[in-house]
Amino acid sequence: MSVITQPTDLLRRQDPQMADVLDGEARRQAGTLQLSAAENFTSTAVLATLGSPLANKYAEGYPGARYHGGCEYADLAEKAAIERAKALFGAEHANVQPHSGSSAVLAAYAALLRPGDTVLAMGLPYGGHLTHGSPANFSGQWFTFVGYGLDAGTGLIDYRQVQDLARAHRPKAIVCGSISYPRHPEYSAFREIADEVGAYLIADAAHPIGLVAGGAAPSPVPYADVVCATTHKVLRGPRGGMILCGAEFAERIDRAVFPFTQGGAQMHTIAAKAVAFGEAARPAFATYAHRVVANARVLAGALEERGFTVTTGGTDTHMITADPAPLGVDGPTARGRLAAAGMVLDTCVLPYGDQRGVRLGTAAVTTQGMGEEQMRRIAELFAAALRGEAAKTRTEVGELTEGFPPYGE
Ligand SMILES: *Cc1c(COP(=O)(O)O)cnc(C)c1O
């Protein structure tokens, strides 16, 4: 954990209280199992870049057209991030400034829509993101969202229903993407439906974009008008967002990010995004992305053997959603018992009914070097934790994580 403890050592003299917080978090991450589908361990190179003096730099605008002086290195960082993103995803244009995945979606709407427009997206009760029409979010307040669902039996997107809703509501944009859909969306089917009703197609690929980078998932780039993504999930970069699009939308997207929805970009984060894109372009990352999926498939199968109902019967991605009801607990209770035993994951909606399940992912544990043997072990530990064997299971989780330190010894 040297990369984490070094800054903490400096900080300890100056601010022991905050040094304790950072130490505690580093120990928590290393000593428990990070199974949140949205999290990962960035490389030490990414962490070092985030802690560099570029964090001090103001650089409103875009490379070569800044509102601030002294941007020569900021420009080099952003140009590298843009070029690497375009090459990695085969996109004509990339905007690497969005502060988060939600900021990327906000900018995509700002570029393509007017307030009051109708948008068709996965309904929140089925796995749509907050930015896909939640009444608590700008999306639900400023646009008229229509939600498509999932087939209650298979848990899969029903493209006939998407088409029927598109024909009935004539949306200005269709959003494909979800926080809990473990299968690949059929981007070509969404494209056909969007074309039939004259809608833009926005892919919110926040989760699968890292698998796309590693060639382990189909790319939305050839199909969607605009692709929104995060850089911190499977992609393993710094916390942030990104937009990919064709040349025809480049200017509108850039203006929608800055100055319409954001001010100065975080240049240290943009440099760290460039580092992550560089890492993701290497063969080792493709191996990693395929291992993430292989691990998720093994873990899904092992959970099913232990009594969980795995939605859609498995996974194509890093993500598993499962109903623990056959084990006598609901999602929130399962999350609590697993957390008490040192296994961290989230709850999620399920494609049927109104009870919640659990959502987990293999991106972080795969970065740590865990493989199929450890996935089967994790399923065993899940079952033990849900039986109420918290203390014993917590010790066993500690033994497992000790062999796979996220940042080396
Ligand atoms: C994670 C996610 C986002 C938002 O990312 P933040 O960085 O948390 O704002 C948006 N859409 C989907 C589908 C996501 O999974």
- Sketch the domain layout of the chain as residue ranges: 50-280, 283-402
Does any ligand 1 atom lie closer than 6 A to the CB of residue 134?
no
pLDDT of residue 9: 80
**Residue 352: what pLDDT?**
81
Choosing from 12, 79, 86, 239, the catalytic residue is 239
Q: Distance between CA 359 and CA 47 in Å, rounded?
A: 26
- Predicted local confidence at residue 58, as pLDDT: 97
Q: How far apart are CA 294 and CA 302, in angstroms?
A: 12
Topology alike, domains 50-280 and 283-402: no
Q: Contact at 8 Å (CB) between 202 and 226? A: yes
Residue 328, token pair as written in the block: 């006598």
pLDDT recorded at residue 252? 98
CATH architecture of 283-402: Alpha-Beta Complex (3.90)
Report the pLDDT value the prediction gives residue 96, as an integer from 0 to 100: 98
Contacts of 73 (CB under 8 A, 6+ apart): 54, 57
Is any atom of ligand 1 closer than 6 Å to the C-beta of 206? yes
pLDDT at 210: 98
Sign of CA dihedral 167, 169, 175, 181: negative
Q: Is there a contact between 78 and 58 (Cβ–Cβ < 8 Å)? A: no
| Burial annotation 152-179 (CB, 10 A radius, 16+ → b, else e) | eeebebeeeebbebbeebebbbbbbbbb
Residue 93 near residue 245 (C-beta atoms within 8 A): yes
For ligand 1, is residue 137 a contact (CB within 6 Å)?
A: no
pTM for the full model? 0.97
Q: Which residues of the chain have pLDDT under 70?
A: 1-7, 353, 409
Does domain 50-280 fall under CATH 3.40.640.10? My reply is yes
Ligand 1 pocket: which of 139, 204, 231 to mutate (most atoms <8 Å of CB)? 204
Position 409 scores a pLDDT of: 64
Distance 259 CA to ligand 1 centre (A): 21
Amino acid 4: pLDDT: 52
Which residue's CA is the nearest one to ligand 1's atom 4? Answer: 101
pLDDT in the model for residue 118: 98
| C-alpha–C-alpha distance, residues 112 and 96, integer Å | 18
Cross-strand pairs, 206? none
